[in-house]
Structure 1
Amino acid sequence: MNTHTPPHTHDRPTGETDDLVVMDAAFKADAPRRYAALRAKGPVHPAQFFPGITGWIVVDHDLARDALTHPALLKDPEPAAAMLEAAGFLGHKRGTGFGGQMLEADPPAHTRLRRLVSGAFSPKRSAELEPRITRLAHGLVDALPPSGETDLVEAFTAPLPVAVIAELLGIPEDRRQDFRRWTTLAFQVNHPEYAASVAAMHAFLRELVEDKRRRPGDDLMSALVAARDEDDGRLSEEELAATAALLVIAGHETTVNLLGNALLALLTHPDQLRLLREDPALLPTAIEEFLRYDTSVERTTNRYAAEDLELGGVRIPRGGVVAVALTSASRGAPLAGGGDPETLDVTRPVARHLSFGHGIHHCLGAPLARLEARVALHTLLTRIPHMELAVPAESLSWFPSGMVRGVLSLPVRYRLA
């Protein structure tokens, strides 16, 4: 475990200290630089995640691995209930329908829930989707005019993952744009339309569950409904709804932003873009470099200290809220053979990162996300020989709140092959 002691130790975060990290829109827009500065000061820092909710953010790679598997850092919020209730977070969360899903569960519930869906996201099952993903990707490029300007998020990086997860879950094609809007807002808890969007999404999912009960198909949602209705205690109605919501959101939104961040990295590093165009065989390792350099999940969901503990020289009391900055931990990961971690290098042979997490909550959809990224980037590199940003990179807007890191739009000028 990293035992480096930061300049200050804290029994609890407080908004009155100069070193409190406020995870607001300004921080998120400048996250890589801010995290680099934090890593230089120490491995863990007091942070405000939402108004009224303070805790600690882990920014160091080695300490992040420890925190993600620490036996006393759990998803059960009971030790922090008073603070969360006072901030309106527990009641707010209860109203969303997100309770009862594996991302917020500890064993044995987590083990049971993960086992129910893990087969659908195995490397083998993901690989079987490659022909369909390839057709979808080429179809999106075919829909573009021969040249001009477009927003790559709207035209490509969003609709591709939406289509993939929708087909897996059996979501009708005419509702996919609704899901894109709902899930984008689901990561922006301070947005005025957040509550209404989440409520609309869950209302539709309840309708979909009933439809799959009446007319089951060869899709994951039908399989989850069957598991629920077998009435052997494997899946409650609440868990069914929450798992469906998690799969819809996590099953595509993170890939949307993986693609967007990778393309932005290439467009702002034309030498690296040229290398990939000249040698597409570099794509598998380049994707690991994109994940290391600017991952799409900025930080984990909260963990709560089940007992007093020490983390990176900082005392965390029982009920302390801890999150891991995956963006920081990945950018700060040790590099094989040395090198500058702030440099994008698509030829890097091994890029260590924590972009998919670590331990029992390691991302279930990692094989599918890697496959979609490889197919999507290969399609764009081969079909669009000329592509450049249509606006200055510094003018792009980023997700203003929540766990996700990604640009909201990516305007480019392009010319098809």
Structure 2
Amino acid sequence: MMPDAWTAPTPDALSSMSAEPLLTREYDADPALVYERLRSRYGPVAPVDLLGVPVWLVLGYSEVLQVLQDKSGAWTKHLDNWRAKTEGRIPPDWPVLPAFEVDSSVFRDGEALRRLRNAWTAALAPFQERTHPQAQMLENAVRKYADDLISVMAEGGSGAGWADLSAQYARPLPLMVANRLLGFESARGDDVLMDAWRMLDAGPDAAAASDRLFAAMTDLAMAKMSNPGDDIPSYMLAAVSDLTLDELTREILMVPGLVADFTGTLICNTIVEVITNPDVRASLSQGIIEETVNRVALINPPMANLTFRFPTVDVRMGRFTIAAGDPVMVSVAAAHGDPLFGGAMNRNALRSTRAHLAWGAGPHHCLGQRLATRITAIAVSRLFERLGRMRLALPVDQLPWRPSPLMRSLRSLPVQYEVVQAYTPPADTQARPAAEPEPSAPPAPTAAGEAPISALWRFLRGLRRG
């Protein structure tokens, strides 16, 4: 039977189709090749096997946009609409299931979604509007975190060295920012930061770390309800006063995951682009780093595939009829590679389109775009100001990627570098005593009341190589 004749005439058709596994070694190495093979065989929508669960993968730009911008109510993110799950056909140990069971605004629709997003909009505004004092203090803190991390990498060296910029810079920096945004006291924030790292690594201790993280977020939410501060949980409560403890906990639980992991991935991908593209490297001195970040979001979006949507009615898309309740995963990365979108686009141009979907679209578009972009721009700019002659320690096509159905992020980013600019902390931070005295401890961050994250610094010092 020719592909043009294939349809899904019954609710069980997806599970009965022969779908190739999505997550393979080929996908880890070059997902664009996999997307193009699927597009060639099936068109803009393809059935794939996602770790044993059949799902529809939307590959076409216009089809992805149609799903994301839905205003008709034909699409929902609420898990109650996932037919296979409600019928008990999803294994309880399916590896991706924990990411779908957070029950936060990511999986809400309609008025419930608008209410929570109103809280997020108000909470993020002081940190994203650059005329606001909170945004200015945050930018100063990001620069300080960047300088501290670079200083730790270069400690004890002779002006040159080797570093894994993923583990030693791009991942810890946004986690430190997340701690600040949440308003954790330094002692508890130390443990939270390390548990967030363990959870994101999805290793053998991830489940225990996730439980501790949820408990810490619950405690934080309770504390902010009685004693608000200048932080995201407090601003959310001020904007939507009837937020429950459970709602607030589940919302702020997304900060270490979505904010830190997404931004850390964007930092890594931008560093690779700057190192490997001489034109981009030259452009940094021209002050267009945020344009570079936008270009990287287009050519290598951190979140390659988005969490499931479910049609509430049978939907015809491409060559198939998608039955109500089928899981549908839209692929931002595949949409950017659609010839109908990117065929006429010059991917080597320093300035690129804003019509890409790296930040989503429609009712679930990313509210923290400006914040993530600014953090990334500061992190990348400061790195290249202080480290020169930087080059990859591996060929770019041999860089190791983390296997993931959602994120497209490097497992490590090994580089060789030379230090070209030393860092001297401001006088007020030099005079402030450290919470845990260490001869070579980095200076305390500049914001009042913050202290060195000693467990993190000990961990990072253990990663140093001369």
Q: Give TM class, smaller chain.
A: 0.7 to 0.9
1:239 aligns with 2:242: no
User: Could you say which residue in structure 2 is the equivalent of 1:284?
Assistant: 290
1:271 aligns with 2:284: no
How far apart in 1 are the matches of 2:64 and 2:209?
Answer: 33
SS of 1:144 mapped into structure 2: helix
User: Could you say which residue in structure 1 is the equivalent of 2:63?
Assistant: 63
Deviations 1:295-340 (A, max 9, x none): 1101111111111111223200011111111112134376689345
**Pairing of 1:356-367 with structure 2 (within 5 A):** 356-367=359-370
SS of 1:406 mapped into structure 2: coil
Q: What is the RMSD of the two structures over their aligned residues, measured on CA atoms?
A: 3.1
1:137 aligns with 2:146: yes
**Pairing of 1:67-82 with structure 2 (within 5 A):** 67-70=67-70, 71-82=73-84
Contact 1:266–1:273 (8 Å) recurs in 2: yes
Deviation at 1:214, TM superposition (A): 5.0
Deviation at 1:252, TM superposition (A): 1.4
Contact 2:122–2:235 (8 Å) recurs in 1: no
User: Could you say which residue in structure 1 is the equivalent of 2:164?
Assistant: 151
User: Could you say which residue in structure 1 is the equivalent of 2:261?
Assistant: 253
SS of 1:327 mapped into structure 2: helix
Deviation at 1:414, TM superposition (A): 0.4
**Pairing of 1:8-407 with structure 2 (within 5 A):** 8-11=6-9, 12-14=13-15, 17=18, 19-24=19-24, 26-41=26-41, 42-51=43-52, 53-70=53-70, 71-83=73-85, 85-89=88-92, 98-122=101-125, 123-124=128-129, 127-128=135-136, 129-145=138-154, 146-176=159-189, 178-184=191-197, 186=199, 191-224=203-236, 230=241, 234-267=242-275, 269-277=276-284, 279-332=285-338, 338-340=344-346, 343=347, 345=348, 347-407=350-410
How far apart in 1 are the matches of 2:107 and 2:93?
Answer: 13
- Flag the structure with larger Rg: 2
Counterparts in 2 of 1:28 and 1:188: CA distance versus 1, 3 Å: farther
SS of 1:310 mapped into structure 2: strand
Deviation at 1:188, TM superposition (A): 6.5
How far apart in 2 are the matches of 1:16 and 1:261?
Answer: 36
Deviation at 1:236, TM superposition (A): 2.6
Paired residue type of 2:249: A
Contact 1:331–1:353 (8 Å) recurs in 2: no
Paired residue type of 2:107: E
Q: Which moved more, 1:176-185 or 1:325-334?
A: 176-185
Deviation at 1:386, TM superposition (A): 1.1
Contact 1:188–1:400 (8 Å) recurs in 2: no
Counterparts in 2 of 1:152 and 1:179: CA distance versus 1, 3 Å: farther
Paired residue type of 1:159: P
Contact 1:140–1:155 (8 Å) recurs in 2: yes
Deviation at 1:109, TM superposition (A): 0.5
Deviation at 1:173, TM superposition (A): 3.6
Contact 1:272–1:346 (8 Å) recurs in 2: no
Contact 1:6–1:43 (8 Å) recurs in 2: no
Counterparts in 2 of 1:59 and 1:243: CA distance versus 1, 3 Å: same
How far apart in 2 are the matches of 1:186 and 1:310?
Answer: 38
Aligned length: 401
Paired residue type of 1:197: A
Scaled by the length of structure 2, the TM-score of the pair is 0.77
User: Gaps spanning 5+ residues in structure 2: where?
Assistant: 421-466
How far apart in 2 are the matches of 1:407 and 1:162?
Answer: 16
SS of 2:243 mapped into structure 1: coil
Scaled by the length of structure 1, the TM-score of the pair is 0.85
Contact 2:224–2:234 (8 Å) recurs in 1: yes
User: Gaps spanning 5+ residues in structure 1: where?
Assistant: none
Counterparts in 2 of 1:323 and 1:91: CA distance versus 1, 3 Å: closer
How far apart in 2 are the matches of 1:354 and 1:285?
Answer: 15
Contact 2:26–2:34 (8 Å) recurs in 1: no
Paired residue type of 1:317: A
Paired residue type of 2:44: P
Deviation at 1:25, TM superposition (A): 6.0
Contact 2:118–2:239 (8 Å) recurs in 1: no
Paired residue type of 2:267: L
Counterparts in 2 of 1:27 and 1:182: CA distance versus 1, 3 Å: farther
Deviation at 1:349, TM superposition (A): 4.3
Q: Which moved more, 1:360-369 or 1:179-188?
A: 179-188
How far apart in 1 are the matches of 2:280 and 2:405?
Answer: 30
Paired residue type of 2:271: L
Contact 1:25–1:401 (8 Å) recurs in 2: no
How far apart in 2 are the matches of 1:57 and 1:321?
Answer: 9
How far apart in 2 are the matches of 1:368 and 1:127?
Answer: 9
SS of 1:86 mapped into structure 2: coil
Q: Which moved more, 1:202-211 or 1:218-227?
A: 218-227
Contact 2:196–2:257 (8 Å) recurs in 1: yes
Contact 2:228–2:234 (8 Å) recurs in 1: yes
Q: Which moved more, 1:284-293 or 1:134-143?
A: 134-143
Sequence identity (%): 24
